[in-house]
Amino acid sequence: MKWFFAGLVLTNLALLGWNWSRGDVAASPFPETAAPRRGGEGGLTLLRELDSRPATRAESAPPSASPQEAAAVDVPVRPLQAGNATPEAAVEMPSSERGAAPEVIATCYRLAGFESPEAVAGAVRALAQGGADIRGQGEVAGETKRYWVMLSPTATAAKAEPTLERLKRAGIRDFYLIRSGDNKNAISLGVYSSEDSAKRRLRQIRDLNLNARVEEITLPAKRWWLEFGWPDDRKATAWRGLLAKDVRDTRSQACH
């Protein structure tokens, strides 16, 4: 019998040693108490105090939240107002809301009757530099009125020769004998665009006791025109002072 008990004790000791070597130590059924802190503070934690401890930061975050989400803080957003706007937050205002520049009111004039495209080009440059708004230019074919100063025709060309010599001696220039047409053997003394110029020539010839006359004729001609806007807040006729003297009196009218 004593050998039986001795064997039983040895068996238990062997089992205890084998379990110890595996580290299988039974957990205590009682919760582990906090170790005393340095300085004598702290002590044992009672069971009723376990449920009343404040949750730690890790315990307050949802299990599925990332560290960034757990640390995120909600900041209230205040609507942007005119008083606290920054250059970065400025919004470009549509042109319709900014207000368009005031429209300049102008009257449209049409100048017609230029003798050449060069005359039109010079007028365009002068008017544009003076503040006019050039709106169009072009040419038109038509007829023009002219004033022809002449001496009455003679029966033959030979009978006109003494008069031609007389004009030469008086220093008259720009004349010739007409060789054909209704005015054959008449002496032409010039064709003028204005009646006043024709009358001055007529007086010069009559001072030589020659019976000259003025004949109004119509000739085919090409004319050039231009249209421009002139601001109403400026003197209505001030644009004429911008033009060259030879075109300053060009006829003007309102644009169609």
Instruction: Give residue 237's pLDDT.
Output: 84
* Token pair 């090409």 in the structure block, residue: 222
Superfamily of domain 144-221: Sporulation related repeat (3.30.70.1070)
Q: Are strands 252-254 and 133-151 parallel, antiparallel or unpaired?
A: unpaired
Least-confidence region, from 82-96, 98-112, 141-155: 82-96
pLDDT digits (tens, 9 = 90+) for 112-150: 889 899 999 999 999 999 999 999 999 988 888 999 999
Grade residue 250 by pLDDT with cuts at 50, 70 and 90: confident
pTM: 0.42
The angle at the Cα of 195, spanning 191 to 201, to the nearest 5 degrees, equals 60
Euclidean distance between CA atoms 175 and 168, whole angstroms:
9
Structure tokens at 160: 């006109």
* Average pLDDT of the residues in 82-105: 47
Q: Do domains 106-141+222-254 and 144-221 have the same CATH topology?
A: yes
Contact between 219 and 79 (Cβ < 8 Å): no
Residue 12 has pLDDT above 80, yes or no: no
pLDDT digits (tens, 9 = 90+) for 193-234: 899 999 999 999 999 999 999 999 998 888 899 999 999 888
* Average pLDDT of the residues in 85-105: 48
Instruction: Give residue 236's pLDDT.
Output: 82
* Token pair 């440059």 in the structure block, residue: 125
Question: CA 14 from chain center: how many Å?
Answer: 102
Per-residue burial over 224-252, b if 16 or more Cβ lie within 10 Å, else e, is bbbbbbbbeeeeeeebbebbeeebeebee
**Residue ranges of the domains in the chain?**
106-141+222-254, 144-221
Residue 29 has pLDDT above 50, yes or no: no
pLDDT digits (tens, 9 = 90+) for 181-192: 999 999 999 999
Task: Please give the CATH topology (third level) of the domain spanning 106-141+222-254.
Answer: Alpha-Beta Plaits (3.30.70)
Residue 10 makes CB contacts below 8 A (sequence gap 6+) with: none
Structure tokens at 61: 């975050």
* Average pLDDT of the residues in 87-91: 37
Q: Contacts for 174-179 with beta carbons within 8 Å, 24 or more apart?
A: 178/150, 178/153
Least-confidence region, from 16-20, 21-25, 91-95, 133-137: 91-95
Euclidean distance between CA atoms 188 and 69, whole angstroms:
108
